[in-house]
Amino acid sequence: MLSLQELKTMKAADLQKELETAQKNLMHLKVTVRTSHEKNTALVPKAKKYVAQIQTMLNEIKMEEAVKAATEVSE
């Protein structure tokens, strides 16, 4: 897992790849916890939070691009 600062410096394409990896990891964690292979159930909420952080960074990038496009059109 990358830190929030590292996520903020990444580009959208890299964030998308990281999101896919994090979602796969989350699904794997859910399965291993349910099948009792993983005893540390606290990993699932942490993984969910990480996925949410990546999604937030992607949404912020999209919003910044939308604002730039809107200001360019209005000028």
Tell me the whole-structure pTM to 2 decimals: 0.90
**75 residues of the chain, pLDDT tens digit each:** 899 899 999 999 999 999 999 999 999 999 999 999 999 999 999 999 999 999 999 999 999 999 998 888 876
| Sign of the torsion formed by the C-alpha atoms of 46, 52, 53 and 55 | positive
CA-derived radius of gyration, the chain? 16
Q: Domain residues for 30? A: 4-74
CATH number at residue 69: 1.10.287
Classify burial at 67, counting beta carbons within 10 Å of its beta carbon; exposed 0-12, middle 13-18, buried 19 or more. Answer: exposed
Count of domains in the chain?
1
56 vs 74: CA distance, rounded Å = 27
Strand, coil or helix: 60:
helix
